[in-house]
Structure 1
């Protein structure tokens, strides 16, 4: 029973066969989906290594619990207590290797349109060999000459690439909001329950947005300080109200009948999250009270205790991983690629409404694809007639994601004192980055509403 499964997994690691799970009870998986998740697993693995490298807590636990730790560091020439393997410079070097890995594959798979060629076979298989290559690239960063010059140049390249990746995240969020509304709206004419679902979800989203705005107005403002907080809360709240009214205005409804309140609800919640994150990342302010300096405009549960810091860091890290993986995996689908080009997506008019709309049954053509059956999970070869997604673009998105991981883990330009435990610690660069992201997100959504009026030919069916 296990022999066919073991053989298929060995072929997956060392050959061009598609990867699958050994459990036959698992639902069948498409070759294109399995390949993307394998690359995402590599990406997530290196990201976790970067998080460990930026954590003094983990470093201390390793040093205290691994026998002969000092001797091992000496043999590896990693400095005293492996100081060369931790900190922002180590993260820069590891992410440099991961970025090189994906960038080389982006060049290698450029203009691959068939899954039957040798380049496509390398992309979809040989996972163990590629894992060794990835490790070699990450380790190679520690042997680069002129380390100081490299770190200085690579820092600015990382900032540029990370900013582009953040912009793609925001564009995909806007596309996600439109797609959600259109999918559920398509089910209204068949079942009125979808109308109720739209109304309930929209009400919940706006309740969360308004509640977050009130929460921040109470805890992140002060009569004698925090002027910037008051200004930005007013500006962001007003912009959310403007885009909501614009989405249901008559002239927008004539051009886009599917425009409703669900999209601005999604955008408003995300903008409030970014606003909260920005205000939490701003350096603290103090006022004099009874002859003593008192910190104001901080998170009410942020007592500075170790448990609070772990909770905040854990939530921030989970959100970071989720946003990166969603952006990397979805930006290469046909629908998302159309959204990134700011044109009408190819969503069919008779699309079936579903709760899990973001994971459609088919991203490509609706045809019967050949299946591989073995001792484990069945694999559907859905790229027999051509590639479902752009291989080169897929790797380029992961290249940008590598730069975003590097900059986020090292607190962007405040890398000297960066620690993963202080992922949401205050710094002006992070504050302005997140605040500008709020405005870019709102402007992108407003553009999707007015673009059919400005460029009607581009949005013709």
Structure 2
């Protein structure tokens, strides 16, 4: 027991409620930048809250959740004159709305506080990088208080905020995915050019073929299960137009003019974009009318009610993008994908110099105290004394949008329905959001291919 408690020093525990940067309370953790540590902690907060929201959707908790204030009558509470909320079906979704509402407000508040911060010397840096225990308590207290919000029109109004915010995060997600595709291809092509190893070459070909095979299989299955010979024209349009666009951007990626400006551009990036567009197309047609919609997992033969469907793939992609934005540092190639405005930058700070400076300060402040064996135990070093590595305010806005996106994903983008027969219905607006997102993804990727050709006077990364 003593050994377990010894893993956390007093200084590390103090970061939970103090303004010091958190070292994750683990002596085994490698040292990292202050900017990276803070982003990881905010990502952890977002992931923990998402898990809590998922738990509220568990069927086993329905009886417990029916006792919360906005559904205190058990069988249903009044929404408006003549309208009754079916708590047994809706209480889980309404709980997700409230949990995400509080976290969104938290990130928006943090964004407003951090407006104009230029370096960690700003007094507000302590709020950004520390007080983690108080932040979690604030969120938990807010979540508890949110269950006392009367229903009224809260669900319907907050849904529109969720749709707009979710769509905006999808755009950010598209930028991150395109950046990932370019970074992945550049890394593997670079390794092949440096080592001339056949393994990298065959890996490039294998992954590219696999991505295209999955995409083609997905499109065929969508045509089979989500279209009918005499109906479902809108679904046919989405599937056909996206298939044509994917073929076009794949062809553009290997044009001689593109290869001349971007020699490491190729079909691997196109295959990653194609498989993502296939997923977005699936998400779009999965929100079509009932006659053309066997359900989110209908192509796998899984029969379930629309209320129990959760887009697991969407949550996985969302989680990967959140972690990618938290851990990834912008590279030269990020300029062309515009992700350099989202990812952290290398500030040029000297790790050894900063750690030595911090250790000297600690030794002066703790004269005669050798309880830590002469080592400060610091795991986080400040790389933002001269300039911030990322826009703190925009970072919190991005996480607020990510919260709204996960809220809509967990509720499957359904629309609260005022009828007494069904609490949530398929939302036609979400179908168009996903369809437009797929076109934006293709347009963004096409721009990264054509920008170096069209903007000859501008310097892009290799």
Same fold (TM over 0.5): yes
* Equivalence map 1:155-234=2 (5 Å): 155-193=159-197, 194-234=200-240
Distance in 2, matches of 1:98 and 1:224, equals: 46
Distance in 1, matches of 2:7 and 2:243, equals: 59
Tell me if structure 2 keeps the 8 A contact 1:220–1:297: no
Tell me if structure 2 keeps the 8 A contact 1:21–1:376: no
Tell me what 1:351 maps to.
Answer: none
Tell me what 1:428 maps to.
Answer: 428
When normalised by structure 2's length, the TM-score is: 0.77
Mark the CA change 1:260 to 1:56 in structure 2 (over 3 Å): closer, same or farther.
Answer: closer
> 2:322 pairs with 320, 325, 331, which one?
325
* Equivalence map 1:432-443=2 (5 Å): 432-443=432-443
When normalised by structure 1's length, the TM-score is: 0.77
Aligned: 1:13 with 2:20: no
Mark the CA change 1:173 to 1:324 in structure 2 (over 3 Å): closer, same or farther.
Answer: closer
Distance in 2, matches of 1:196 and 1:10, equals: 49
> 2:246 pairs with 240, 245, 265, which one?
240
Aligned: 1:448 with 2:448: yes
Tell me what 2:113 maps to.
Answer: 108
Distance in 2, matches of 1:5 and 1:232, equals: 54
Mark the CA change 1:3 to 1:303 in structure 2 (over 3 Å): closer, same or farther.
Answer: closer
Distance in 1, matches of 2:269 and 2:334, equals: 19
Tell me what 1:79 maps to.
Answer: 72
Q: Offset at 1:215?
A: 3.1
Distance in 2, matches of 1:270 and 1:218, equals: 20
Q: Tell which deviates more after alignment, 34-43 or 128-137.
A: 128-137
**RMSD of aligned Cα (Å):** 4.0
Tell me what 2:82 maps to.
Answer: none
Distance in 2, matches of 1:400 and 1:59, equals: 27
Gapped regions of structure 1 (runs ≥ 5): 64-68, 287-293, 347-357
Q: Offset at 1:15?
A: 1.2
Aligned: 1:117 with 2:122: yes
Distance in 1, matches of 2:143 and 2:333, equals: 30
Q: Deviations over 1:241-298 (max 9, x none)?
A: 1111111111222222222111101101111122223333323327xxxxxxx97998
Q: Offset at 1:143?
A: 5.7
Q: Offset at 1:392?
A: 1.3
Mark the CA change 1:414 to 1:445 in structure 2 (over 3 Å): closer, same or farther.
Answer: same
Q: Offset at 1:125?
A: 0.9
Mark the CA change 1:295 to 1:143 in structure 2 (over 3 Å): closer, same or farther.
Answer: closer
Q: What SS does structure 2 have at the residue aligned with 1:117?
A: coil
Aligned: 1:32 with 2:38: no
Tell me what 2:350 maps to.
Answer: 367
Q: What SS does structure 1 have at the residue aligned with 2:195?
A: coil
Distance in 2, matches of 1:303 and 1:411, equals: 16
Tell me what 2:101 maps to.
Answer: 96
Q: What SS does structure 1 have at the residue aligned with 2:8?
A: helix
Q: What SS does structure 2 have at the residue aligned with 1:206?
A: helix
Q: How many residues align?
A: 422
Distance in 1, matches of 2:53 and 2:334, equals: 29
Tell me what 2:312 maps to.
Answer: 315
Q: Deviations over 1:97-138 (max 9, x none)?
A: 222211111121222222233211121111111122223444
